[in-house]
Structure formats: structure tokens, C-alpha cells
Amino acid sequence: MLKGSSILITGGTGSFGHAFVPMTLAKYNPKKLVIFSRDEMKHWEMAKIYGDDERVRFFVGDVRDKDRLSRALSGIDYVVHAAATKIVPMAEYNPFECVKTNVIGAMNLIDACIDRGVKRVVALSTDKASSPINLYGATKLTSDKLFVSGNSYAGPNDTRFSVVRYGNVMGSRGSIIPYFLSMPNSTTVPVTDDRMTRFMITLEQGVELVWTAFEDMVGGEIYVKKIPSMKISDVASACLPQAKHDIIGIRPGEKLHEQMISPDDAPHTYSYGDYFKILPAIHNWSMESGRIGKGIPVGEDFEYSSNTNTEWMSVKQLQEWIEKNRSSIGAI
């Protein structure tokens, strides 16, 4: 599907974009891959890597600017929406800015994609969008709902939208692993709560889930990767085995455990190999055989949470991953 096509990724100079771009170029050889981002310095740094590749284009713009989005989407077949304001404490103290990017930006993109005749759009989401308690999670839940409903909003147009939902992206810029590794000689390490758990996913797994969504989607699905959990205290031990844990308490907007599928979503959720799929409840779409396919219902009481997960990553497994990927952790 993506082979020989024209693709645009919003927020493409971020961690996800640095994984998506080379992997997609290698696997699908698209005609054109447009990197849309408001950060000109990140564009400049990324252009040093791909500047000689005629398939890669750099487009400075902001998802808050609908006109600029529309211009960038001219001739585009497929869109990956990765642009977001995502740091939880920053969102709590800058709520208007978070809403402008995560909600208004999503609305702008949906309108522009429909108007420009884009075929399919996959939006990146987060575990914090399931039963949210912080502003970031609330804006991403709103964004998810907008993209799901966008399939109805599109009317007679052929543009289709779906969502992929992630956990903690291992080693991404601003995440917990590079933070811990930034203090290699420390004798103490701050840990919010010894009980806290998080889902763990690699950038490569995230990219592959986006590819799956493009190939599988009918419209309105939320794809959830089956991934391991880990205690934050174990993440700290893996990164700084010599350091004593200093329990500092949960920060504003943080959960003790994360959730990717709530019991309320369970009646519309199906299991497929290495991922789940939450089908849209509107228009009885969750009852359609074309959307369900070979999915197995998860059961009405099902909940996919980081503390009750059946798959766990060990300290040793994380340490092995760190050694293998040390040069790129926190760099993109």
C-alpha cells in the first residue's frame, strides 16, 4: 500500500519520525516522504542525514496553522500524525498550548486531509488517553475521538482515519530511560513511587504498528500493541544499579499505573495476534464483520493495564536493550 506512494508525517523531526523515516524508506520506497514540523533546527539536523535523498522533503509548519497544513498535503496519499505536546507536567502548567496543538491541531488535520483527498490517516495516541486524569491524556482522548468520528464527518469523501495507542517509548527524548542514564555516577536516583508501573514499547515496534494500521484499517479503529510492563523502580535499577532509590512522590497529573484499554472499551475490543483493536461504537461499526475480521472478543470485564499485564520486562532484559541501543538513547 505505501510502496511508491506520497507520505507526510506531522511532528516528523521527533523521536518517532527518526525511526519511521528510515524504516519506511527502506521497506516501502515511497515516491515522496514529507517531514512536517515547526522546529527549523530539527529540520536542519535531519536534513544532514537525508539531504541527498530526493524522496525526502522538509516542510516547516505547525498543525495549528490549517492553511499551511493544506499546502503541505497537496498530492499526499497517506498521513502519520505524530505532532503533539506530550510532557505531562508541562501540559498541566500550559494547558491552553496543549489544547491548541493536540485538539485544534487534530481538527485542522482532519479537515485538511478530507479537503485534499488524502486516502488514509493514522494518528499516534498514548496510554494516557485511556481513563485520563491529566490534561495531556484528556487532550489525546479528545484527539482520538475526533479521528474516530472523522470517518463519519468525511461524509461521501474517501479519507479514512484510525489511531494507534502506545505506552512508554523506550529511549525517546524526554523519557525516563535517558533521564536515568544522564546521571551515571549518582549514588541516589529519584523514583516517584516504588509501586508505579508503565508499559514499554520500542520505536521500531511503534513504527510497525503504524504500518499494520495502514494495511488493516477500514476506518475508526484504535490499535493497541501487546507489550510488556515494568516497574519504574526496576527501570531505575537497570539504568543505575549502584544507586539508592529516593522516593519523591507522584508528580502533578501522573498515574500510579497506566491503562490502554478500559473496561468501558472492552465490549468493542478484539484480540489479534500481537495487538488489540478497539472498534468504534458509533453507527454500530463495532458489530461489522469487515472491521472485526478474525478478531476474538476480549470479554466484557477485560482491562489492559500496566499493573495487571501478563507480560513483564525484567531488569536484565532492559539492561541488554540499553547496551544494544546506548548510542541512540535520548539522542532523537
Inter-residue contact 232 to 197 (CB < 8 Å): yes
Torsion-angle region of residue 174: left (phi > 0), alpha (psi -120 to 50) or beta? left
Inter-residue contact 272 to 222 (CB < 8 Å): no
CA distance 56 to 46: 10
Element (H, E) at 291: helix 289-292
Place of cell 516504588: 194
Annotated catalytic residue 32: no
CA distance 153 to 160: 10
The active-site residue out of 86, 128, 140, 225 is: 128
Q: Is 179 helix (H, G, I), strand (E, B) or coil?
A: helix
CA distance 299 to 100: 37
Q: Is 126 helix (H, G, I), strand (E, B) or coil?
A: strand
Polymer length in residues for the chain: 332
Residues designated as active site: 128
